[in-house]
């Protein structure tokens, strides 16, 4: 990382919560509780899927991976944010900022492509139910997951150096609570149109390509569901897709607002608020959306708890 030495800035200062000095301890308690609940619920989902054989299906495989990515990318951002809420000096080193951005981009991009893979899984389950086990074999589970990770790594590997090779001579104050693209670009001494275009195009591709794949899957899904003979079967089919659709809407809505806006519309306060929603609230709600609405998962959870409680008796 020889390009680190080309700048005079050695650390960045987070200013996102500076205007809420009197509320920072309250925010610390609220965000800590939300974070612990997020870790707990995602851990429960992963454990239940691993321990109950009835959930060893492609849909729950992808759900377990989704929970893993959410645990990881909240871990990249939230603990540092919690420390900063209690600290007088809210700083991060130049290299630490680059690592945080790279890791967040890697996990966020992988998350987008993973949602597309989950959409394809729903398409096969509803449109080709008799061939589901054949079409969604081991290779079709591991393959998309690996492809999502490769895409996420590639995008992060391109964007992060493009941002941190820029000169940072004048300001090191980020109006945000973590090292996201726009806040860091705002404090660069100058940046070329080439950098902006490449970053915008990569962000657009990461959002548009998976979203198009999801839309294609759901066009086929809806056309198939409308041909079902009974209202009950149609409602059941729609309910299996509802959780995924809610998560997709929230994820792509927030991400599009943050990364696909013109630079002239940039607002640090709006970005910080939206970022809180997808770094803290979305990982909190996703497990509840997927588990509380899912009778199969709740039954599996009860079985796992029942087996664990009965172990001391043997």
| R_g (Cα) of the chain, nearest Å | 21
C-alpha–C-alpha distance, residues 205 and 128, integer Å: 29
Average pLDDT of the chain to the nearest whole number: 86
Lowest pLDDT segment from 39-43, 61-65, 307-311: 307-311
- All domains of the chain in start order, with CATH: 11-259+269-310 (1.20.1070.10)
Strands 11-14 and 91-93: antiparallel
More confident residue, 86 or 21: 86
pLDDT higher for 69 or 261? 69
pLDDT of residue 7: 53
Q: Which band of pLDDT confidence, cut at 50, 70 and 90, is reported for residue 2?
A: very low
Write the CB contacts of 189 (distance below 8 Å, at least 6 apart in sequence): 166, 167, 168, 169, 170
Q: What ranges in the chain are assigned the alpha helix state H?
A: 24-51, 58-86, 94-127, 132-135, 138-164, 181-187, 193-225, 231-259, 268-276, 282-292, 295-310
| Six token digits for residue 277 | 């929603």
pLDDT of residue 292: 66
How far apart, in Å, are the Cα atoms of 114 and each of 6, 33, 107? 36, 27, 10
Residue 68, pLDDT score: 93
Mean pLDDT of 215-227: 91
Q: Which residue has the higher pLDDT, 273 or 111?
A: 111
Average pLDDT over residues 273-286: 82
Look at residue 119 in the predicted model and tell me its pLDDT. 92
Does the pLDDT of residue 294 top 70, yes or no? yes
Torsion sign over Cα 107, 113, 117, 122: positive
Q: What is the DSSP letter of 177?
A: S
Lowest mean pLDDT among 115-119, 181-185, 199-203, 231-235: 231-235
Give residue 293's pLDDT: 67
- Give which of 104, 113, 30 is closest to 74, Cα–Cα: 104
Closest CA to 248 of 291, 276, 289: 289
Say yes or no to pLDDT of 61 above 70. yes
Q: Which of 29-33, 76-80, 132-136, 255-259 has the lowest mean pLDDT?
A: 255-259
Residue 109 pLDDT more than 90? yes
pLDDT tens profile 137-168? 888 889 999 999 999 999 999 999 999 988 88
Q: What is the pLDDT of residue 115?
A: 92
Cβ contact 12:97 at 8 Å: yes
* Spatial distance between the Cα atoms of 52 and 82, rounded to a whole number of angstroms: 35
């Amino acid at each position: 990382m020889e390009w680190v030495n080309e700048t005079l800035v050695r650390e960045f200062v987070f200013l996102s919560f500076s205007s809420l000095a009197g509320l920072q301890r309250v925010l610390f308690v609220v965000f800590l509780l939300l974070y612990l609940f997020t870790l707990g619920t995602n851990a429960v989902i992963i454990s239940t899927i691993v321990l109950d054989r009835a959930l060893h299906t492609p849909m729950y495989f992808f759900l377990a991976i989704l929970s893993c990515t959410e645990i990881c990318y909240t871990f990249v951002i939230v603990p540092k944010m919690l420390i900063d809420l209690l600290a007088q000096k809210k700083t991060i080193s130049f290299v630490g900022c680059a690592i945080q951005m790279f890791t967040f981009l890697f996990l966020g991009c992988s998350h987008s492509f993973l949602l597309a893979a989950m959409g394809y899984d729903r398409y096969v389950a509803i449109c080709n139910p008799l061939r589901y086990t054949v079409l969604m074999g081991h290779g079709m589970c591991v393959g998309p997951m690996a492809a999502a990770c490769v895409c996420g790594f590639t995008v992060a590997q391109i964007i992060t150096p493009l941002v941190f090779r820029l000169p940072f001579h004048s300001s090191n104050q980020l109006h945000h609570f973590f090292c996201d693209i726009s806040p860091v670009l705002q404090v660069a001494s100058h940046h070329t149109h080439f950098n902006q275009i490449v970053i915008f195009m990569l962000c657009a591709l990461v959002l548009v390509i998976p979203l198009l794949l999801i839309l294609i899957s759901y066009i086929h899904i809806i056309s198939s569901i409308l041909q079902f003979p009974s209202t009950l079967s149609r409602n059941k089919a729609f309910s299996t897709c509802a959780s995924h659709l809610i998560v997709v809407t929230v994820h792509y809505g927030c991400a599009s607002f943050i990364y696909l806006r013109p630079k002239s519309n940039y607002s640090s306060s709006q970005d910080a608020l939206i970022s809180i929603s997808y770094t803290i609230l979305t990982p909190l709600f996703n497990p509840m959306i997927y588990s509380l609405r899912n009778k199969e998962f709740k039954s599996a959870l009860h079985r796992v708890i029942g087996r664990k409680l009965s172990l001391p008796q043997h």
